[in-house]
């Protein structure tokens, strides 16, 4: 999309866009310290969250504590550096930590950045005393997977960790939620058939979502966000039923499912028009 816009967009170019639909938003009902952890351009949503916290603090006189932790390659690749510095200066309890993995000759430790290396769980352990925090993650796949696994491994409740999948890969795979009574349990096997492709496979929980199952047998369904937001993977279901590992945002019509965040429900074979 970026390449298309750079090549084609001129003054007066019209774009039809939908309103924001994502679920990666700051929890406004909580006053827990917010730990905003980003890598590369994953800093973008963190800017909006930090701006809201600062503006809300200026309006009410009560500033929610913020730990803003960011990893970049170098000062040349450090986006929004001035904006973040300004926000930190406008908030009495805004702790900023920046780490460069490959600082340039113009980068000065202690001035342009606070540490050298990649932001990981060890970075977080050094910075935080691990009290009652809320964590917000956005960055490349390996970055997010490492942090998510590290935080949960230290006992941080999953409902205190918020994230947005970065790029096309799903890097954080939540456990199947046992809401509906017939959700497939560990050890259950459900046959899945893809009728247009004349293919099939047996699904079990370790095989992930229906999208991942299809990919594992060589099919290539269309997908975008892999988190139930874009609706690209919408597919007609012919038989059986599914449950969602997280509530999807994308609309779906009667008889349609989102492959990227659904799993088969026990009780009957799942048949998909794929």
Q: Which residue has 């299809």 as its token pair?
A: 214
Per residue in 12-30, is it b (16+ CB within 10 Å) or e — as a string?
A: eeeeeeeeeeeebebeeee
Domain ranges across the chain: 29-163, 190-272
Determine the Cα–Cα distance for residues 32 and 29; give it in Å rounded to an integer. Answer: 9
Closest CA relative to residue 232, chosen from 250, 254, 253: 250
Residue 237 in tokens: 């279901």
Pairing of strands 94-100, 66-72: parallel
What residue spans of 105-169 are helical by DSSP H?
121-127, 141-153
Question: CB-hemisphere CA count at 13 Å for 11?
Answer: 0
Q: Which residue has 């290396």 as its token pair?
A: 117
In the predicted structure, residue 172 carries a pLDDT above the cut 80 = no
Q: pLDDT tens digits for 73-120?
A: 999 999 999 999 999 999 999 999 999 999 999 999 999 999 999 999
In the predicted structure, residue 34 carries a pLDDT above the cut 70 = yes
Residue 5 in tokens: 């816009």
Q: Which CATH class is domain 29-163?
A: alpha beta
Q: 57 falls in which pLDDT band (50, 70, 90)? A: very high
Instruction: Give the homologous superfamily in CATH for domain 190-272.
Output: Beta-grasp domain (3.10.20.30)
Q: pLDDT tens digits for 177-229?
A: 444 445 555 568 999 999 999 999 999 989 999 999 999 999 999 998 788 88
Determine the Cα–Cα distance for residues 261 and 205; give it in Å rounded to an integer. Answer: 13
């Amino acid at each position: 999309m970026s390449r298309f816009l750079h090549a084609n967009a001129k003054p007066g170019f019209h774009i039809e866009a939908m309103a924001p639909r994502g679920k990666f938003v700051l929890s406004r009902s909580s006053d827990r310290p917010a730990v905003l952890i980003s890598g590369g351009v994953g800093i973008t949503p963190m800017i909006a969250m930090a701006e809201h916290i600062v503006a809300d603090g200026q309006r009410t006189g009560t500033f929610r504590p913020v730990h803003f932790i960011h990893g970049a390659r170098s000062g040349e690749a450090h986006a929004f550096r001035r904006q973040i510095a300004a926000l930190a200066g406008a908030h009495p309890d805004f702790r900023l930590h920046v780490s460069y993995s490959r600082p340039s000759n113009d980068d000065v430790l202690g001035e342009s950045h606070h540490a050298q290396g990649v932001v990981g769980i060890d970075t977080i352990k050094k910075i935080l005393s691990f009290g009652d925090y809320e964590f917000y993650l956005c960055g490349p796949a390996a970055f997010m997977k490492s942090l998510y696994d590290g935080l949960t491994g230290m006992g941080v409740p999953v409902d205190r960790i918020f994230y947005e999948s970065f790029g096309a890969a799903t890097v954080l795979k939540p456990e199947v939620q046992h809401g509906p009574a017939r959700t497939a349990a560990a050890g259950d096997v459900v046959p899945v058939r893809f009728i247009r492709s004349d293919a099939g496979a047996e699904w079990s929980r370790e095989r992930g979502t229906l999208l991942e199952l299809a990919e594992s047998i060589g099919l290539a369904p269309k997908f975008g966000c892999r988190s139930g937001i874009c609706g690209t993977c919408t597919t007609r279901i012919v038989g059986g039923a599914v449950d969602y590992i997280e509530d999807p945002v994308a609309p779906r019509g009667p008889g349609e499912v989102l492959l990227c965040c659904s799993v088969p429900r026990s009780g009957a074979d799942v048949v998909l028009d794929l």
